[in-house]
Each structure stands twice: as structure tokens, then as C-alpha cells.
A = this chain, B = another copy of it.
Amino acid sequence: MNENNRPVLAVVGATGAVGTVMRDVLSTREDVWGEIRLVASARSAGRRLTVRGEEIEVRELSPEVFDGVDIAMFDVPDEVSAEWAPVAVERGAVVVDNSGAYRMDPDVPLVVPEVNARAVRQRPKGVIANANCTTLSMIVALGALHAEYGLTALRASSYQAASGAGQEGVDTLHDQLNKVAGNRELGTHPGDIRRVVGAELGPFPAPLALNVVPWAGSLKDDGWSSEELKIRNEARKILELPDLRVSATCVRVPVVTTHSVAMHVTFEREVNAVRASEILRDAPGVVLYDDPARGEFPTPADVVGTDPTWVGRVRRDLDDPRALELFVCGDNLRKGAALNTAQIAELVAAELSA
């Protein structure tokens, strides 16, 4: 705590794509923080970055940087979190981690405040995990529907943005767009896009401009991608439904930021599209935008930069009265990363200040 009894926050990984959005989030939400420390690798230490209108020098990650810190947010690779989160905890901080290192650890809660805020208090390791961006793009809407109808199965197909692969993903997409723009013959013959884009695929396994790529993450058993299994495992943990039937296909699309998901969701009870829409409209953190007659449905271009989960195309399955179809969009850097991390940190801050 600082002299005004306000908690001290460390932001570890302050200079990446998510760190940049985090500084924006911290500068625009209600300010509960005493000191804010920005922390990064040695390469970025010494840079001066603005948060809450104030320039702060970025400090190098070290054990001492956590002295006096109440809450440390980590947005760094899994292996950096695995090494440094225990150091921060040892120095007295509660860690909110946005990597995959702790999400499935049974001693670490996986928290989405609109869905399972109370889980934040059960943290025997001093660590709280933030969910994957794709999970976060849909889970608030799912949680609201689950509370009413009881979720039994989720079939999800994603339309994931380049920034889910970090700043390198964004830069790669823009570089490729520059190469393909103006060539009106492209996209007609096999291989022509690969020829123009060349070998610079960045973090993607195929060209992303004028293409869609059915792959995100690493290869796991039986042909599943890590991203697809994260949706399954994280949805089960957050919703406390260990047997929830979940299958997903994750696809990268040439969008800069904001993940979309087409969902087929099955419930214990019969659903009604009108009532389901009311539930979504009234749910905290959800915007219902669903009037196709007026051209109203969420798209990434309209959702990017906003906080809520946007939901549209709500339809009851024509054959199954217990199933809904819907299409959701959520900013993968905001609710999908920085915002949810900040919301968790604020829950802990309120607890520490109480």
C-alpha cells in the first residue's frame, strides 16, 4: 500500500501489444491504484511510457522490483510467468497472470469477474489466472445464458484476429496487405497469394491477407490445436462444468483486433430466442446488437476498442428447442487480455483495501 492506503501495482510486460492496451485501460478506468510500476525485459528497461497521464520509466524485471508491490499483473510468455510469478508472490504480491502457465492448475483460480468473481479469493498459490483471449471473447455471454438455462454443449468456430499472435501478428498482416493491395488478379489462381506474400509469414503457418487459416497455437493429441483445447478446458473450469461437451475449430482471419465466434449452444432446458436476447441485453459486460433487418449484428470493425462482449444473430435451432445459434465479437486485447486482468486486479485491490 502507498501512503494513501492504496495498493501498489506492477505491470510486468508493459511494452507489448497487451501492455500498451493495459496502460490505456489503467488510464481510463476508475483509478484505485497508489503507485503503478511498469516492468519489462532488460531490452525495454529505461523507456519512458505514459500511464494515468504520468510518464514512468520502465524498470527491468528483478526480484527487487516486487518489493512493496501488492498486486502484479503478468503479460509475458508462459515460461517467464512460471519463473517469475513465484518470485513476485515470495515478495508479497498477489499475481494476476495472463499466460497459459497457471490456467489449468487446480490451485489457481481462473477468473472472469462477470461469471465467477467469488473464485478470486481461493488462491493458495497467491496466483490468479486470466483466461485465453478466445475463451474471453465468448464466456461472458455464455455465462449469462448458462445461469438461466444450464449449458450442456458448446460447438464453436472462431474468426481470430492477427493481434492474438501479438504485435508480430499485426505487423505481418499489415505487411502482407501492402503486398496484395492493388493487384486485382489475386485470389483467382492457386498459389498466387503465396507468390506475392513470399516467405514472410510471421507467426502464421500460411498467408493471412486474402485468406483464412484454420490453425492457432501448437499441435496437441489427435489433431487438436492448443487453442481449441484451451476453449474447452477453460470454459469447463470457469463455468464449473467439468463434463461440459465442448468442441471448437479455431481459424485465423485477416482482422487486426477483435475475435469473433459462431456458437451452437445446447442447454438443459428449452430456450426461447426472445427471452435469451433479454438475458443477454441485461447481462453485465454484454451488448446485444441484433437486428439484421437494420443491418445490425456485431463485426470486428465496430467492436474493436470497446470493452463488452457483443452478441448478435441470436436464433433458436430449427430442430432442437434446447439449442441456440449466436455470433459474438470481443476485443481480444481488451476483454480478451488487459481489461479482464485489470478487473481481476481490482477485485483483489478491493479485498486488500477492505
Q: Interface of A with B (CB < 8 Å)?
A: 153, 155, 157, 159, 161, 170-171, 174, 177-178, 180-182, 184, 186-194, 205-207, 210-215, 219, 222-225, 232, 245-247, 249, 251, 253-257, 260, 262, 264, 273, 290, 292-293, 295, 297-306, 312-320, 323, 325, 327
The residues of B that contact A186 with a CB separation of less than 8 Å are 256
Q: Mind listing 11 A-B residue pairs with CB under 8 Å?
A: A177-B181, A177-B182, A187-B255, A192-B301, A206-B295, A213-B297, A213-B299, A214-B297, A214-B299, A223-B315, A225-B292
With A and B bound together, what is the CA distance between A222 and B318 in angstroms? 10
The residues of B that contact A298 with a CB separation of less than 8 Å are 214
Q: Out of B215, B223, B292, name the residue touching A223 (CB < 8 Å).
A: B292
Would A214 and B304 be within 8 Å (CB), given that A249-B327, A257-B187, A257-B188 are in contact? no
In the bound complex, do residue A211 and residue B245 qualify as a contact, i.e. CB atoms below 8 Å apart? no
In the bound complex, do residue A304 and residue B219 qualify as a contact, i.e. CB atoms below 8 Å apart? no
In the bound complex, do residue A325 and residue B188 qualify as a contact, i.e. CB atoms below 8 Å apart? no
Find the B residue at minimum CB distance from A248: B325
Would A159 and B251 be within 8 Å (CB), given that A178-B182, A219-B292, A301-B206 are in contact? yes
Q: Out of B232, B299, B302, name the residue touching A318 (CB < 8 Å).
A: B232
In the bound complex, do residue A293 and residue B219 qualify as a contact, i.e. CB atoms below 8 Å apart? yes
With A and B bound together, what is the CA distance between A320 and B232 in angstroms? 14
With A and B bound together, what is the CA distance between A128 and B311 in angstroms? 40
In the bound complex, do residue B256 and residue A210 qualify as a contact, i.e. CB atoms below 8 Å apart? yes
In the bound complex, do residue B301 and residue A194 qualify as a contact, i.e. CB atoms below 8 Å apart? yes
In the bound complex, do residue A299 and residue B264 qualify as a contact, i.e. CB atoms below 8 Å apart? no
The residues of B that contact A302 with a CB separation of less than 8 Å are 190-191, 194, 206
